[in-house]
Every structure is written in C-alpha cells, then in structure tokens.
Amino acid sequence: MPDSTLHEPVLAWYAEHQRDLPWRRPEASAWSVLVSELMLQQTPVARVLPVHEAWLERWPTPADLAAEPTGEAVRAWGRLGYPRRALRLHAAAVAIVERHDGVVPDAYDDLLALPGVGDYTAAAVASFAYGRRHVVLDTNVRRVIARVVGGVEHPPASLTRAERDRAAALVPDDDATAATWAVAVMELGALVCTAANPRCPACPLASACAWRAAGCPPHDGPPRRGQAWAGTDRQCRGRLLAVLREADGAVHRSSLEAVWDDVPQRERCLAALVTDGLATRTGPDTYALP
DNA sequence: AAGGCGTGGGC
DNA sequence: TGCCCAAGCCT
C-alpha cells in the first residue's frame, strides 16, 4: 500500500502547471511517445520539440522510418547529440515492424527488448502511451525522492536498490493514477525541484520535504563528475559527423581533415564512426552518411 | 560497473 | 567565463 500523502499535492500541482507537450496530447500515438523518449534521453525539451515535430511529420509510423536508410535518420536527428540514438530508433522501428506488426508494443518486456530502450524508457512508454502502472524512474524522479524522502540534495551516482524500492513504494495502486503520478513527479523535478536553484517556494511538497526540513544541506561526498569535452574523441566525432550531416552526398577526406588537426585522433574517430554505423566509406577518399 | 557517448543553453 | 547540466543506454 503506497504512502498516498504525497500524491494529492503533486497531482494537483501537475493539473495546474503541466506543460503542453506534443507527445502528451490525447491524440499522440505511442510512436510519438517512443520517439520523444529516445530524443529526450540527455537532451532538453526545448531542443527536442522542433525535431520531434519534423520527425513525426516525415515518419508518422514505425514502418515509415523502417523503410528509410539509417543515414536519413542520422541526418534528421540534426544537432540533438548522441547520434547513435538515431540509429537505435531506426533499429527499433525495424524491430517493431518485424516483431510487432508495426505497432509499438505495450508490454514492458517487449519494449525493453527494443534497441535504445532501457528500463526507464520501457517503463515510460508503457506508462505514458498505454496508461500502465510502472516504476518510472528517471533523473528527475530520483532527485525529487532523494530530497523529499531521503533528505539529501542529489541521488547517488548510480541507481541503487534502495532508491528503486522507495520509488516503487510511492507508485499509486491503480494504472491510471500511477501513470499520472509518473509524469507529474517527473514534471515537478523538471520545473521546480531542479538540480540547481530549486524553486522550493513553488513546490507542493515543500512542507513534506526532508531536505528542506534539514535546511537544504549541500551535496556531501565526492564531487559529481562532469564530462570532459575539449580535445576528446567525442568532440572530434561530433565535428566529423557534422560535416557528413550537412553535406549533400559524399564528402572528400579533405573536408574532414579541415575540421580536426590531430591526425591519429581524427583517423581513429573516423574509423570508429564507420564501425558504429554512423558513417560509410563510399570510395578511396570519400565518406557519407550510411 | 564505471566510462564513453553530442550539443548548446543557463547561470 | 567557464562550468554544470538535460526524460539514459550500452558495454
């Protein structure tokens, strides 16, 4: 029996403050929800909105995308980042056509088996698109629970069993309320209980929050690791792929050489892009999107 | 099971 | 100004 004392304030807050997002509208398809979830992995809503709209217009169903070369997905992905997600979404569309008659599956296990779909995304699609009861545990929800229940500013670096148990204990019993709870807590984390500068005065859980009751103690422990960037393979890969993405057809080596000076690193990254399926060699000195 | 994987906006 | 961050997944 879940502790329901937190439900009503959060559900009421959500009813009042939820954003109108395309993938949340009643007419949104499960495919729209799945596409949004892949795009939103590590990427802000504001950047996803235009790409998601164009994507759904061009490929309204999984079968539409599955019929395209993977390179078209990579190109349409644009600057969302982590372009392997575009390949995974394309592969998911192919799997949906092959294994599920072109219909996005509603069962958690079937969703989890799709490329690019992990525990969070499988639970999110089952919950948001099909109204099923699941533990939808993303970084927003983890942060809200860490603060309200755990009394600390940030959740641990990797998901723990204790966190999952806490989250599971909070999920309402019935499917419909559980699904609304999932999206509502996420929204609270995204808009109010943010990582930096949380808007506690606007929070429906302020009076119930253990972290606030403790005086909002700052994060205690090892510094949370940021991601290295300048000079890394990731930056190099991004530069190289941007050239391929923006080109109309194949490009000569010289165009790739122009965007990265370190020769061994550039060659290593180019080879890795080919291995990853994000690029193909089309001739002795030319490359293109697959 | 840490670390790799893009990108750009906000403070 | 840099630094931190944004609905994770995969190996």
CATH number of the domain that residue A102 is part of: 1.10.340.30
Q: Residue A121's pLDDT is what?
A: 98
- Distance in angstroms, CA of A244 to C1' of B7? 16
| pLDDT < 70 stretches in chain A | 1-3
A181-206 pLDDT, tens digit each? 999 999 999 999 999 999 999 999 99
**Full residue range of the structural domain in which residue A34 is found:** 29-128
Final residue before a domain boundary, out of A102, A128, A154: A128
A229 touches strand B (CB under 7 A): yes
- Distance in angstroms, CA of A141 to C1' of C9? 18
Q: Is residue A192 part of a domain?
A: no
Final residue before a domain boundary, out of A85, A105, A128: A128
Q: Is residue A284 part of a domain?
A: yes
Burial of residue A158 (CB within 10 Å: 0-12, 13-18, 19+) is exposed
Pairs from A229-235 (Cβ < 8 Å, separation ≥ 24): A233/A265, A233/A268, A233/A269, A233/A272
Q: Which nucleotides of B are covered by protein (CB under 7 A)?
A: 1-9, 11
CA distance A247 to A252: 10
CA distance A240 to A245: 9
A83 touches strand C (CB under 7 A): no
A218 touches strand C (CB under 7 A): no
CA distance A145 to A209: 9
**DSSP secondary structure of A246-277:** HSSS-EEHHHHHTT---HHHHHHHHHHHHHHT
Q: Is residue A182 part of a domain?
A: no
- Both tokens assigned to A254: 């010289």
- Distance in angstroms, CA of A238 to C1' of B6? 6
Q: Is residue A144 part of a domain?
A: no
- Residue owning tokens 């999107």: A289
Q: Is residue A18 part of a domain?
A: no
Q: Work out how many domains chain A is built from and give that number.
A: 2
Final residue before a domain boundary, out of A82, A97, A128: A128
CA distance A190 to A205: 14
Q: Residue A225's pLDDT is what?
A: 73
Supply the CATH number for residue A273's domain.
1.10.10
A40 touches strand C (CB under 7 A): yes
3-state secondary structure of A149: coil
Q: Residue A236's pLDDT is what?
A: 97
Alpha-carbon A238 to chain mean position: 19
For residue A258, give the nearest of A247, A228, A249 by alpha carbon: A247
